[in-house]
A and B are shown apart, each in its own frame.
Chain A
Amino acid sequence: MSAAAAAPTSPAQGTFPASQYRVTFGHAVTSEWIKFRTLRSTMWTLGATFVVLVGLALLVSATTGSPTTGPGVSDADIATTPLVAGTGFGQLVLAVLGALTITGEYSTGMIRSTFSAVPTRTPALVAKALVVVVASFVVAAVSTLVAVAIVKPIFSGKPWALDLGNDDILRVVIGMPLYLAATALLALAFGILIRSSAGAIFAVIGLVLVIGPILANIPVHWLNNIADYLPSQAGQNLLTIHPTQGPAPWIGFLVMAAWGVGLFAIGAFIAKERDA
């Protein structure tokens, strides 16, 4: 019945050579990349993003007849409309991808394997964020470039030609993958904080599609101002030729990125302390 601690003895066991293996950030990134690409859901969501961004660009540009340019609608607006047509669906799909990347591990118990292999936890989470953000960016960038290649000949010779020499148009082209990658990061951060797939997806969609528009439409000035600085509202100014409210385009994107990075940092800190 002795429960007393025995005197600590030397931990050295002598017979085992020191391991040549190490947990490094690079190794953590390799591991997260293997995890990311070996799930079917990843391929489905990234594939859907490509199809929707390119498909809607084709559909919208092919059906653009003689649009009326009025106050607040410029030729550059018309030129970029096909490129940003898939933003709503794309952000939804990539938000699901970003959230599932981590909540899928919590729901299956995989997170305990992950945190056993990388017990300091932060490198694994940062590696996960890096993989999700880079993959979302690359897929959105390729989709947008393909969309540009489709739209450019359709609109050529028209007043609303897709002229990449136009700074505002070029900004939208560059902005699409940045905006969508930032959405994926935001969703991943919510996933770390909330841990449940349904909860995290609900939180992101609520923030992006529900709370923002509600606050923006209540005729109370300071509520509108808050809405302008919510991640999605601020970020979408990067995709707008002449934003009429809220922060300037690049400031807007920085606001959105700050939301993502900030929530991710809080999530990573909490995940380090929390029982897995």
Chain B
Amino acid sequence: MIEAHGLTKRYGPKTAVDGISFTVRPGTVTGFLGPNGAGKSTTMRMIMGLDRPTAGAVIVNGKPYAQHRSPLTEVGALLEAKAVHTGRTAYNHLRALAATHGIPSSRVGEVIEMTGLQAVAKKRVGGFSLGMGQRLGIAVALLGDPKTLILDEPVNGLDPEGVLWVRNLAKFLASEGRTVFLSSHLMSEVAQTADRVLVIGRGKILADASVEEFVDGSSQKSVKVRSPQAAQLAELVTRDGVTVTSTEPGLLDVAGSDAASIGETAAANGIVLHELTPVTSTLEQAYMELTAASVEYHATGAPDGAPLPDGSATPAPTSTEGAAR
């Protein structure tokens, strides 16, 4: 269980996390979704007591993280793949961290086996691939057999088999009643792993819902209509809350209405329809729509649509992730 109340982090004039409140419950996998620089990593570091909130508070399993007497058995975290001294072997890294809690070496052997690191455990971490570093980070998170797991971009750098393994692991840990909180900037990843989704953009929570609710709540639902009398139909269906767009002659994209009422309108006015297809939005679309205004780095110029949350016209060029050092 993770509970944040008005959690805020500023780096100088830049607000990385802007007064967010949320609860992550046990027994579920909660995806923490947002574009790069949205404040995901900063939030996770604050949960782990590594960064001090500018305002607000966050508690894990009933207490601020630093007040737990056995923190590694409360919360296991993968905060970044290589929070590891490159000159030490994976085995010694795990052993040193286990020693802080008096966790026996036998447990170190167990997590090495669970994460498939047997072959490289006695090698120095400096030579590890991103995927192996990621597995080592997950091994560290599992070391204390924790009630809550915090995984920042856990599938980064993993091969397809590794990605599948992380998904199943996250689901399995949640099924045991643990709290699993994992971040990703990849929609599809969260869609396949998480039960709930917490969307963050520019330091603010944009959505806090189950994955199904999140998709259903999207305004992207539309109906594709093909008709030789498209222009006439467009006039008839356009009313408050319904927008009609057309990308090619004879094809309409009607948002805010449904197939049944469009079909009835067409029949009542003697309009011929060649196609009437409801288009349900994917999580990907819902996510893009929600975060369009709050993406930190756009490939092309300033974002269109709604004004930016902090009122500035152009996105700041600095990364909140990087500014945390």
Residues of A whose CB lies within 8 Å of any CB of B are: 1-6, 8-13, 15-16, 19, 21-24, 27-28, 30-32, 34-35, 38-41, 104-105, 108-113, 115-120, 124, 273, 275-276
- A2–B207 alpha-carbon span in the complex (Å): 6
CB of B206 within 8 A of CB of A276, answer no
Question: Assuming the A-B contacts A9-B1, A16-B147, are A116 and B86 also in contact, with contact meaning beta carbons closer than 8 angstroms in the complex?
Answer: no
CB pair A19–B73 under 8 Å, yes or no, is: yes
B70 at the interface (CB under 8 A from A): yes
* Across-interface contacts of B51 in A (CB, < 8 A): 275-276
Does B144 sit within 8 A of A, measured CB to CB? Answer: yes
For the complex, give the distance between the alpha carbons of A12 and B103 in Å.
23
Q: Are A27 and B80 in contact (CB under 8 A)?
A: no
* CB atoms of B147 and A275 under 8 A apart: no
Q: Which of B68, B97, B204, B324 has the most CB of A within 10 A?
A: B97
Tell me how far the C-beta of B100 lies from the nearest C-beta in chain A, rounded to whole angstroms.
4
Q: Is the CB of B92 within 8 A of A34?
A: yes
**In whole Å, how far is A77's beta carbon from the nearest beta carbon of chain B?**
42
In the complex, chain B residues whose CB is within 8 Å of the CB of A113: 83-84, 93, 97, 140
The 4 closest A-B pairs by CB, nearest first: A11-B62, A119-B66, A5-B21, A19-B73
- Say yes or no: B100 contacts A27, CB within 8 Å: yes
Closest partner residue, chain B, to A109 (CB atom) = B83
* Residue B315, interface by CB 8 Å: no
Query: Residue B101 contacts which of A5, A40, A117 (CB distance < 8 angstroms)?
Result: A117
Which residues of B are found within 8 Å of A12, using beta-carbon distances?
Answer: 62
Given A11-B62, A35-B96, 4 extra CB contacts under 8 A? A13-B61, A22-B69, A27-B102, A118-B100
B88 adjacent to chain A (CB < 8 Å): yes
What sequence of 0s and 1s flags, for each residue 32-68 of chain B, a beta carbon within 8 Å of any chain A beta carbon?
A: 0000000000000100111110000001011101101
Instruction: List 29 A–B pairs whose Cβ atoms lie within 8 Å, in order of A's numbering.
Output: A3-B22, A9-B23, A11-B61, A11-B63, A13-B1, A15-B177, A19-B70, A21-B70, A21-B73, A22-B69, A22-B70, A23-B70, A23-B100, A24-B102, A27-B99, A30-B99, A32-B96, A34-B99, A35-B85, A41-B87, A109-B82, A112-B80, A113-B83, A113-B140, A116-B49, A117-B72, A119-B48, A273-B52, A276-B50
Q: Provide the residues of chain B in CB contact with A23, threshold 8 Å.
A: 69-71, 100-101
* Minimum Cβ distance to chain B for residue A269 (Å): 14
Q: Tell whether A38 pairs with B72 under 8 Å between CB atoms, given A3-B205, A27-B101.
A: no
Assembled-state Cα–Cα distance A6/B25 (Å): 10
Which B-chain residue is minimally distant from A124 (CB atoms)?
B100
Q: How far is the CB of B122 from chain A (nearest CB, A)?
A: 11
B residues in contact with A15, CB < 8 Å? 176-177
State the Cβ distance, B88 to closest chain A Cβ, in Å: 5
Complex CA–CA separation, A223 to B230 (angstroms): 92
**Chain B residues within 8 Å of chain A by Cβ, number:** 62
Question: Which B residues touch A8, using CB under 8 A?
Answer: 3, 23
Cβ contact of B87, chosen from A1, A22, A32, A39, cutoff 8 A: A39
Flag whether B216 is at the interface (Cβ < 8 A): no
Could you say which of B1, B59, B71, B204 contacts A116, with CB atoms under 8 Å apart? B71
Expressed in whole angstroms, the Cα–Cα distance for A6 and B22 within the complex equals 7
Contacts A1-B207, A2-B209, A21-B102; A39 near B61 (Cβ below 8 A): no
A3: which B residues are within 8 A, CB to CB? 20-22, 204-206, 208
Q: Which residues of A contact B86 (CB under 8 A)?
A: 108
Chain A residue nearest to B50 in the complex (CB): A276
Which A residues touch B84, using CB under 8 A? Answer: 108-110, 113
B147 — which chain A residues lie within 8 A by C-beta? 13, 16
Q: Kindly provide the distance from the CB of B253 to the nearest chain A CB, expressed in whole angstroms.
A: 24
Cα-based distance from A109 to B324 in the complex (angstroms): 12
**A164 CA / B171 CA spacing, docked (Å):** 70
Task: Provide the bound-state CA to CA distance between A191 and B102, in Å.
Answer: 27
